[in-house]
Every structure is written in C-alpha cells, then in structure tokens.
Amino acid sequence: MELKRFAVRVSAAVAVERLSGAAAAVPMGLVAHINGQANCARKGIDVPPDQILEIFRPDFAVKVWAADKRAGLDIPIRIHVCEHEGKTWVACRMPSWIFEPYDSAALDAIGCELDEIFARILAALDDVKE
C-alpha cells in the first residue's frame, strides 16, 4: 500500500476535524497541524484550503529509532488535506511504504502495525468518500 488518496464530500476543515478526532481516538498524537491557507493569508496571499496533519506517538518513535535511526527522517506520518478543482482531497503515504527503502524487518513490522492504525484514522471519512 503506497499512497492512499481519495476525494470526500466535505470541506477541508471538516475533513481535518474528523481526521484529528480519529487520530486522538486510536490513540495517536497530532504532532503538528500545518494550515497552509492560514499561513498564506497572514502574508496577504489567497489560496484554497491546504492543510497537513503530522501524526505519531512517542512509543512508536522509540521503536522506529531502535530499528533504524535513519528512519527518524520519515516520522511523523503526514496526512494532506486540500481543496483542488472543486473537490476536497485526502492523501497519506502509508507507513509500510515509507519504511520500505530501509530494508529492515523490524521497520517492516512497525510499518504494518502503523498501516492498520492509519487505515483506521482515514476510515473516519469512509462515509463521505466520493
């Protein structure tokens, strides 16, 4: 599973709210919420909604670092939500695919465990998928 990308029938703001709630429920931590539209607005630039949720948890970070310190570059895992061509899009590179280049059995196992968690987070939008 490489990239999960799908359109939803709700605004970016609603999608972000639902994904954030789902992340808390699994439970995972919202490490950062980058609101590109709001950041651009502060500079007087008008752009459509474009947000990134960075999601992870300290215990998983410790496991990743123990498996291969270099993989620290690839955490937290990001979910991108944007409005483009009249639709709201959600995209996430799944953890197992992110960790694949490290050729590590330990990271493969962590990636599979995280794939299930991120699938549950993304499932918060199943009822509004196009």
| pLDDT higher than threshold 70 for residue 1 | no
In terms of Cβ atoms closer than 10 Å to its own Cβ (0-12, 13-18, 19+), residue 23 is buried
Q: pLDDT tens for residues 76-117?
A: 999 999 999 999 999 999 999 999 999 999 999 999 999 999
Q: What is the pTM of this model?
A: 0.95
CA atoms within 13 A on the CB side of 36: 12
Q: What pLDDT score was predicted for residue 20?
A: 98
Domains and CATH numbers, the chain: 3-128 (3.30.310.70)
Q: What pLDDT score was predicted for residue 61?
A: 98
> How do strand 87-93 and strand 77-84 relate by DSSP bridges?
antiparallel
